[in-house]
Chains A and B, each alone.
Chain A
């Protein structure tokens, strides 16, 4: 297949259409505007539906309705808009509905900045809405990977009947890169016997609901959700580990910082330090055991979390490393992207502390 040059946001939208998504509900916010704009032009050409909602609250609730009626449905936004979607995400999780949510992250808190950041990690991985729930969180580091994750994300959502979020920093949304389109079969999407499509007099009514007023029923529902989340943890962890032999320091980074950390590995190599990169691709479930095994290696002296935030993923890194090695940090916020030099220096600091 030939490669084409695509802007991240537009590529994500195109990937969704290719993955069989026919319903998109959104609201404008920078730096994700190209997604709804692309959808508004291209959805009608494939018989799909694009609706610009009155708010992110309305958009996610339209997703809730469409998902309940069996559609392969998607919404996208950026940080402040994703905050508004949390109510709906909690309801989608509670009612066990599949959908894809894309967060092209910008800096915060509040209105923050429109520049790229990764400050919504907690919100995405801890459940930003109320209740005990999880969403599968996928983190692309290239535009190609973002496109592939769109298809993967829809399929995971259907498989487990739960929302899936693609968590990308604004850099991924705004830059252009080569993309290769893979054939994506969409004629074999799973049946959704639970969807509300009208009984047609053929079956009992289907009910889409997250209310279980009886405490026992409510606990049972939570236990059921939890069993599902355990299954996701057992089967769906994705990560990339590029750890040389005699690796002294391991960077842990996702999205754009993972690419900068890779450059920092080369900088360190020139200075005679063996560094490696561990890149979680699923942020929830986090590849905890896999990172722990690497941190345990004798050669590894320190682990360094690299983030475009003041330190959020580092909590998961610390849980994974579980004290076997010191954990250093390199973080930038507010739209500032760390340089490979800064990342490399953070590794040296961590090594100094470890000695």
Chain B
């Protein structure tokens, strides 16, 4: 019998706890597949965030650290400075990375830490129940912005991939999504490229992934995919914001 599809060997058999329609699981698979395909998994140390993906340490089939909220890039720095030849990655949500941990990620990029950050942007705090994130769209409702994010009160969403792209130590910064097959393939290639560049010690690599949170958006899984395409991508354009391999 021909195998046409199988679970990544980069993931454990622990059952994931994500809500139906949540794309955290898809992103996990892409990361795991990339590590396996590049034959890096056995030499990888991952760092899980505080957020819905906190249990990522049980899902990835490699050595893992669980970091304090927002501190994953600092923890990864410590790991990488001890194990310069290992692959080190962080997996972080938008509250984790773009609010409480902004300093850590910016400075890891500034130092050109040879680590890869997978940034899952779902425009909301998932785990704590749908509060406003720095990436929440203007007008988007959240439990701490019940009438929608008010620009006069909270300003506009942070564009992390663009910001990281401006930093000298960053080798690669891109924004992708996983809402359909073509985009999943692009995301997969972006993640692989980031790990490949890390292997070549080119600097800090950053992949922002637009992701869904049907539970806290109050949408069905299918509506959530459309919302990413029709609304979120208007605010957060996909693209490559830095790639030192492509110097003109």
Q: Do chains A and B stick together as partners?
A: yes
- B61 beta carbon closer than 8 Å to chain A: yes
The answer to whether the Cβ of A232 comes within 8 Å of any Cβ in the partner chain is: no
Chain B hits for A65, CB < 8 A: 47, 65, 67, 74-80, 82
Which of B38-46, B118-126, B163-171, B176-184 is the contact stretch? B38-46
Given contacts A66-B82, A198-B83, A201-B42, contact A207 B66 (CB under 8 A): yes
A189 to B106, CA, bound (A): 35
- Whether B132 sits at the interface, judged by CB under 8 Å, is no
* A58 to B58 CA separation, bound complex (whole angstroms): 25
Given that A55-B103, A207-B64, A211-B66 are known contacts, is A66 also in contact with B71, CB under 8 Å in the complex?
no
- Given A51-B81, A54-B103, does the pair A199, B75 have CB atoms closer than 8 Å? no
B78 touches A23 (CB 8 A): yes
- Chain A 174-203 per-residue mask, 1 if CB under 8 angstroms from chain B, else 0: 000000000000000000000011111100
Which chain A residue has the least Cβ–Cβ distance from B84? A49
Contact between A196 and B79 (Cβ–Cβ < 8 Å)?
yes
Residue numbers of B with Cβ under 8 A of A are 12, 42-45, 47, 54, 57-58, 60-68, 71, 74-83, 86, 103-104, 106-107, 111
Interface locus among A68-76, A111-119, A215-223, A282-290: A68-76
- Contact, CB under 8 Å: B74 / A62: yes
Most buried by B among A64, A67, A70: A64
> Does chain B have a CB within 8 A of A205?
yes
- A63 lies within 8 A of B78 (CB): yes
In the complex, the answer to whether A91 meets B82 with C-beta atoms within 8 Å is no
Residues of B near A206 (CB, < 8 A) are 63-64
B18 to chain A, nearest CB (A): 15
The answer to whether B68 and A91 touch across the interface, beta carbons within 8 angstroms, is: yes
8 smallest beta-carbon distances between A and B, as pairs: A65-B78, A196-B63, A61-B74, A62-B78, A66-B78, A65-B75, A54-B107, A61-B71
> Does the CB pair A53–B86 fall under 8 Å?
no
Q: Would you call A208 and B65 a contact (CB within 8 A)?
A: yes
Q: Assess whether A205 is in contact with B103, with CB atoms less than 8 Å apart.
A: no
- A69/B82 contact (C-beta < 8 A), A54-B107, A58-B103, A91-B68 known: yes
14 contacting pairs across A/B (C-beta < 8 A): A53-B77, A58-B104, A58-B107, A61-B67, A61-B68, A62-B81, A64-B67, A196-B45, A196-B64, A198-B45, A198-B86, A199-B42, A205-B60, A210-B66
**Nearest CB of chain A from residue B9's CB, rounded to whole Å:** 11
Decide: A61 and B54 in contact? CB cutoff 8 A. Answer: no
Say whether A88 faces chain B, with CB atoms less than 8 Å apart: yes
Which residues on B sit within 8 Å (CB–CB) of A209? 57, 64-66
A91 CB, min distance to chain B CBs, angstroms: 5
Known: A54-B103, A55-B103. A64 touches B63 (CB 8 A): no
User: Is the pair B86, A197 in contact by a Cβ cutoff of 8 Å?
Assistant: yes
The smallest beta-carbon distance between A220 and chain B, in angstroms, is: 17
Q: Are B71 and A57 in contact (CB under 8 A)?
A: yes
Q: Collect the chain A residues with CB atoms within 8 Å of residue B63's CB.
A: 196-199, 205-207
The answer to whether A345 has its CB under 8 Å from any CB of chain B is no
Task: Please report the C-alpha to C-alpha distance between residue A211 and residue B68 in the assembled complex, in whole angstroms.
Answer: 10
- Give B152 Cβ to nearest chain A Cβ, in Å: 31
Please state if B86 and A23 are interface contacts (CB–CB under 8 Å): no
Q: Tell me, in angstroms, the Cα distance from A68 to B83 when the chains sit together.
A: 11
Contacts of A51 in B (CB 8 A): 77, 81, 111
* A141 CB, min distance to chain B CBs, angstroms: 32
Residues of chain A within 8 A of B103, CB atoms compared: 54-55, 57-58
Nearest CB of chain B from residue A96's CB, rounded to whole Å: 13
Q: Which residues of B contact A23 (CB under 8 A)?
A: 78, 81-82
Q: How far is the CB of B166 from chain A (nearest CB, A)?
A: 17
Given A196-B45, A197-B63, A211-B54, decide whether A73 and B78 contact each other with a Cβ distance below 8 A: yes
> Does chain B have a CB within 8 A of A87?
yes
By beta carbon, the residue of chain A nearest B110 is A54
CB nearest to B88 among chain A residues: A65
CA of A198 to CA of B85 in the docked complex: distance in angstroms?
A: 10
B76 partner residues in chain A, CB cutoff 8 A: 65
Q: How far is the CA of A175 from the CA of B60 in the complex (A)?
A: 50
Q: Does A25 contact B (CB under 8 A)?
A: yes
Smallest CB gap from B71: residue in A: A61
A211 to B67 alpha-carbon distance, docked (Å): 10
Verify A69–B45 contact, CB threshold 8 A: yes
Q: Cβ of B74 and Cβ of A57 under 8 Å apart? A: yes
Structural contact, B81 and A66, CB atoms closer than 8 A: yes
A205 B64 Cβ-Cβ under 8 A: yes
Partner of A53, one of B58, B62, B65, B74: B74
* Closest B residue, CB atoms, query A49: B81
B202 shortest CB reach to chain A, Å: 19
Partner of A25, one of B42, B62, B78, B86: B78
